[in-house]
Structure 1
Amino acid sequence: MAQPAAAASRAAPPAVIDGSAPTLHPEGVAWDPSRKSFLVGSVRHGTVSIVKTDGSTRTLANEPRIVFTIGVHVDARRNRVLAAYADYGVGTRSTPETVQKQAGLAIFDLETGRTKHLVDLAMGPGPHVANDFAIDRAGNAYVTDSTSDKIYRVDTRGRASVLVQSPQLASPIGDGMNGIVWHPDGYLLAVRYDAGVLLRIPLSRPHRFEEVRLDWPLVGGGLVLRPDGSLLVVSNALGQRLDGAGSVLRTRDGWRSATTVGESAPWADAVPTTAAVSPYGTYVASGRLDLLVAGTPTDRFTLRRW
């Protein structure tokens, strides 16, 4: 007997979604409650795509001015999907004029995928690579730049400013600030990829940021703040080794210090990058960026439940 449509729409996704799309190579992933599906970006094509539970994909947003999309988040309250965009030189639209020079935040209509705003974040001398971002309750976005010493703020009207600038945010090898989350108590948590340092950045006084005391470094770093208050950190060392790991951290002092309370290492899929919280659990993305960087792109990617 066929399953009723209403019941089918409530069915949980499988524990592992084996995705397939022509050389998509997603880095970022988000849960879309309006479709009960995942959305992913594309380091190869600069798109945002819908991923169904059977792993099939459909393009939602395809803005030709964007080289590639990294972090992706859904703001369902405002009918928006947002994506950080940049160019590492491996996209089909990469040019000498855009490699590590294009950096910004794209804002699309969640229902149609139509471009609402492209917010330029290549502020000051380069290079620039907008990486990930967090959205607060009011809809403001906070965007990391992996190759500069800045974190940006973009308001709901698309106006950009520098939230905080410091040498401590910069990496000498160009793998600086990466994952970032907004905490409802009024601060950001952000990780520096190369050093494994987690920073606590108060929004009222962002220049007064401090390093969170950890039991070991979080090298790599996609961050997800889960509904139970724990922080999931997805780690990899792209270009150094293929294995990755997931760690769960908890705090007792408002994220001035944190302790690892769970770990999965090595992760089942090579080079995991970040994760998304869904009503059915937290799903970790592996878009096989290692193969793309090596010049052997693939059509396969994985979303795996933690």
Structure 2
Amino acid sequence: MTIRPIRAAAVTTAAAALLGAGALPAAAHPYRPAAVVAGHADSLHPEDGVWDAEHHRFLVGSLRHGTVSAVRPDGSVRTLVDDPEHLVSVIGIQLDRARGRVLVANADPGVGLRHDPAKVVAGIGAYDLETGQRLFYTDLAAVAADGGRHFANDIALGPGGEAYVTDSFSPLVYRVRPDGRASVLVRDDRLATPAGAFGLNGIVRIGSTLLIGKYDDGTLWRLALDRPAELRPVAVAGPRPIGLDGLLSTGGSTLRGVTNTLGGSGADSLVDLRSPDGWRTAVLTVRAAADPAPTALVAGPGGSVYELSGRMDLLFQGVPDDRFTLRRV
């Protein structure tokens, strides 16, 4: 395991850049995002995003550049985090508001400008919300310590600031302490996938329970934080959501998500899950997505929810594009 501590650095330039990206108090720079934020940046291709209420901005990661950017009201972006020493492609992104930082899952799907086929990339980094400065970086592939393929995908935040990270290439969920120390929370062969397929993907916490989606087969799994060995599938009534990607909790008994066709099957859809019994069972409903290849739902201000399409379909076809969309749903 590699944990890199905070490094002293001048922040004047980064702070000035943030002023242009919406990092001002609410009274000085209110930002109520439009129903559709038509994003545009040089082949950004964001896979996940969050609403940063304190700074009145969306933050999105980049598969292509391995960065985190703040989205302006007009859809333009300004880079907040750029860590070329570690970040290849930013996959999941999560806010730790209590500690003033953004957490990012780092992996290498092979479409980023920093792609290196000789390396196994799976890690989590923490970066200051004001300056973008690195606070720690932890190599999760080293934590797994099995010599296998690994891909850090999504992040859920625990009640004490610990982060829970899914691994799409191995049947693992990691637990990362607020200081960056990490361990394997779950290793279970029922979560394994065929070589080359994406498995574990979206993860959310509802109370003391983690809910985890599996991309390749559309299954949903329930994990009690105090009893991780008791991992159980959720019995879902309704169509199987093949290509289940980002998940978003909208209440203790409701969960929303997206499916996409990036894995070669499934459909571009929005899914809603409701559970009457603490996520032992759930009922799923599906409707068509508004934009191609959605990968995440982002909780916006005032209870709003935005669907994110970073045009991964084009990126994986080898045709980088400058457009992305955040659409209220």
Q: What range describes the TM-score normalised by the shorter chain of this pair?
A: over 0.9
Letter in 1 for 2:60: V
* Count, aligned residues: 297
Q: Which residue of 1 aligns with 2:106?
A: 85
Match of 2:61 among 41, 64, 67: 41
Q: Which residue of 2 aligns with 1:293?
A: 316
Q: Which residue of 2 aligns with 1:212?
A: 234
TM value normalised by structure 1: 0.93
Unaligned runs of 5+ in 1: none
Unaligned runs of 5+ in 2: 1-24
Deviation of 1:53 after TM superposition, in Å, equals 2.1
- Give distance in 2, aligned partners of 1:171 and 1:211: 15
- Give distance in 2, aligned partners of 1:97 and 1:107: 25
TM value normalised by structure 2: 0.87
What SS does the corresponding residue of 1:209 show, helix, strand or coil? strand
| Structure 1 position 167 matched with structure 2 position 189 | yes
- Give distance in 2, aligned partners of 1:132 and 1:304: 21
| Structure 1 position 117 matched with structure 2 position 136 | yes
Contact 2:241 2:266 in 1 (8 A): no
Q: Which residue of 1 aligns with 2:249?
A: 225
Match of 1:51 among 58, 64, 71: 71
Letter in 1 for 2:140: L
Q: Which residue of 1 aligns with 2:16?
A: none
Q: 1:31 to 1:90 in 2, by over 3 A?
A: same
Root-mean-square deviation (CA, aligned residues, Å) is 1.7
Q: Which residue of 1 aligns with 2:205?
A: 182
Q: Which residue of 2 aligns with 1:157?
A: 179
Contact 2:36 2:328 in 1 (8 A): yes
- Give distance in 2, aligned partners of 1:251 and 1:239: 27
What SS does the corresponding residue of 1:292 show, helix, strand or coil? helix
- Give distance in 1, aligned partners of 2:321 and 2:298: 22
Q: Percent identity?
A: 46
- Give distance in 1, aligned partners of 2:286 and 2:241: 12
Contact 1:86 1:104 in 2 (8 A): yes
Query: Quick check: 83-92 or 222-231, which moved more?
Result: 222-231
| Structure 1 position 303 matched with structure 2 position 322 | no
Q: 1:206 to 1:243 in 2, by over 3 A?
A: same
- Give distance in 2, aligned partners of 1:248 and 1:239: 21
**After the TM superposition, which residues 264-303 of structure 1 pair with which residues of structure 2 at under 5 Å, given as runs?**
264-265=287-288, 267-280=289-302, 281-303=304-326
